[in-house]
Amino acid sequence: MQIKVKTPAKINLTLEITGKRPDGFHNIRSVMQMINLYDILTININRQDRFKINLSGNNTNIPYDDKNIVYKAIVAFTDYTHLKDYRFDIYIDKHIFTEAGLAGGSSNAAGTLLALNELFETSLTSEELHKIASTLGSDLNVILMGGCTLAEGRGEKVTPVTFREYPVSLIKPNNLGISAKEGYQKYSSLKDKPQNNYTDKVINALKNNEDIKPFLYNDLETAVFKDYNILQKIKSKNPKSIMSGSGSTYFVLDNTINNVENCTVVNGLKTINTGCDFIE
């Protein structure tokens, strides 16, 4: 059995942190938006007498073992469905920047859950898939929802938001990835934590067909910005740009972004009102 699935990147139109949780995570309110930049997963499944996962791909920056979230998604799915006597061969054709705040890994994992549900004809409900996804990471439920989504809690509570198509361009420092752990730790150390309520402002602007650009905002950008000269250069050349997630990718809702030395630019993308999708 084989299936191919394309898994989209996301950007954070807003990311506001509302407090620390007892489990060590932070509660957030974030409007996340899918864009038409995709990884492609080719998944082959064969029946055999023992469980095995073989991951491979075209990007040397990601692990192809049990540390990969795709691997973890397969384990979570097969634990839930008791489908263990199979070999899983997955090739990850990576186009989304890694360590970039674009949820590339989470998107791969969400696409894997959807693909396995389709291949095995297990007919898991959306609620069941979201339940599995919530055990794997903070962005998977957003990817499963697709389109434009309000994420709350640690990201697992998702609500559809009014969608509007915008052009999108990205700029990513070539030699800088910022982990979510670093971003949240630096936010925690801020003495004066911003409280702007931009998330509701973006939601209302989308609903009323008003301009959302004045309300784009990211608390984690505030937390890490002063520590990285390259981020300051990006912002200087692109004053309307905003960091996505924990970074280090910046985006503008425009057709072009001004380049900065030692950065990679992707122009001409757009927001989309879908999520993962199967390829015939």
**Contact between 143 and 156 (Cβ < 8 Å):** no
Residue that has been written with the tokens 């004066």 in this structure: 192
Contact 112, 90 (CB under 8 A): yes
Question: 241 preceded by cis ω (within 30°)?
Answer: no
39 in active site: no
CA 219 to chain centre: 17
Catalytic residue among 39, 72, 94, 139: 139
| Backbone torsion region of residue 249, taken as left when φ is above 0, otherwise alpha when ψ lies between -120 and 50, otherwise beta | beta
Task: Extract the tokens encoding 175.
Answer: 């030699």
139 is catalytic: yes
Supply the DSSP symbol for 85: S
Nearest 5°: the CA angle 143, 60, 57 is 60
- Residue 31 near residue 39, CB atoms below 8 Å: no
* Active-site pick, 10, 94, 172, 201: 10
Mention every residue, 6+ apart, whose C-beta is less than 8 A from residue 172: 97, 100, 248, 249, 250, 263, 264, 266
Enumerate the active-site residues.
10, 139
